Amino acid sequence: MSKKYDNRCPVGRTINAIGDGWSVLILRDLFLNEACKFQDFQQSLPKIVPSTLSHRLKRLEADNLIEREVYEEHPIRVQYKLTKKGKSLGPIMLALKKWGEQNP
Amino acid sequence: MSKKYDNRCPVGRTINAIGDGWSVLILRDLFLNEACKFQDFQQSLPKIVPSTLSHRLKRLEADNLIEREVYEEHPIRVQYKLTKKGKSLGPIMLALKKWGEQNP
């Protein structure tokens, strides 16, 4: 977890955990779709650079907000899901969505 | 308002409006204190560079989330307050605070 913002404040702590806007949109996709592959995020977020997407996924995984599932198929299939901790961000996601709907 | 994220999605729209973590913490200070001077933000956010603070205040003002009040005293006093639109971010701020409290 990055400690850019003051961790003693609960708001700062949450921002440190969530990260930047891309991370919020990755989490949004997982609230909407349950499981996503790397390519699903690329389709949903066409402006994100692959290395940025990869970095954000690793950070969210390191912070235990998402988990990576690997299926031993041919070719190997990797998908991402919210963890229990990630799902606990639901009220924040809903508040962000509601404000955006009220401010078109 | 920056259009970095997809404005067609309400979550993306909200992130575009709020901006980055520093902006969230500036807004937090105004939820906690009603009115703040530039130096108040500097005290509350000791790691922020003055030019970054200045830029974030201008952006939040341009997006009509905060307003600048100038008092013609000697020396001139400038303070910032939330606008009505800024106050409407209250539920987001509360959700961020609550999650941080539940994840110490």
* Residue B101: CB atoms within 10 Å: 12
Q: State yes or no: pLDDT of B1 exceeds 60.
A: no
pLDDT of residue A1: 47
How many contacts, defined by CB atoms under 8 Å, are there between A and B?
Answer: 115
pLDDT of residue A75: 86
**A66: enclosing H helix or E strand:** strand A66-71
Calculate mean pLDDT across residues B72-93.
94
B9: which chain A residues are within 8 Å (Cβ-Cβ)? 25, 28, 100
Q: Where are the domains positioned within chain B?
A: 10-98
Interchain contact, B88 vs A95, CB within 8 Å: no
- State in Å, rounded, how far the first CA of chain A is from the last one: 33
Interchain contact, B95 vs A95, CB within 8 Å: yes
What's chain A's length in residues? 104
**CA distance linking residue A65 with residue A35, whole number of Å:** 13
**CA distance linking residue B91 with residue B86, whole number of Å:** 11
Q: State the pLDDT confidence band at B2, using cuts at 50, 70 and 90.
A: low
Calculate mean pLDDT across residues A18-23.
92
* Long-range contacts of the stretch B49-53 (C-beta < 8 A, 24+): B52/B22, B53/B22, B53/B26
Q: Which amino acid, one-letter code, is at B36?
A: C
pLDDT of residue B31: 97
Interchain contact, B10 vs A98, CB within 8 Å: yes
Interchain contact, A95 vs B97, CB within 8 Å: no
Q: State the pLDDT confidence band at A35, using cuts at 50, 70 and 90.
A: very high
The torsion angles phi and psi of B40, rounded to 5 degrees, stand at -60, -45
Instruction: Collect all residues with Cβ–Cβ distance below 8 Å to B79 and sequence separation of at least 6.
Output: B35, B36, B37, B68, B69, B71
The architecture CATH gives domain B10-98: Orthogonal Bundle (1.10)
Q: State the pLDDT confidence band at A104, using cuts at 50, 70 and 90.
A: confident
Residue A47, token pair as written in the block = 């402006």
**CA distance linking residue A91 with residue A11, whole number of Å:** 14
**B93: enclosing H helix or E strand:** helix B90-102
Interchain contact, A15 vs B95, CB within 8 Å: no
Q: Which residue is it, tokens 């905060």?
A: B66
What does CATH list as the number for A10-96?
1.10.10.10
Tens digits of residue pLDDT in B3-49: 788 889 999 999 999 989 999 999 999 999 989 999 999 999 999 99
The closest CB to that of A11, out of B28, B47, B88, belongs to B28
B33: which chain A residues are within 8 Å (Cβ-Cβ)? none
**CA distance linking residue A3 with residue A45, whole number of Å:** 26
The torsion angles phi and psi of B70, rounded to 5 degrees, stand at -115, 125
Q: State the pLDDT confidence band at A2, using cuts at 50, 70 and 90.
A: low
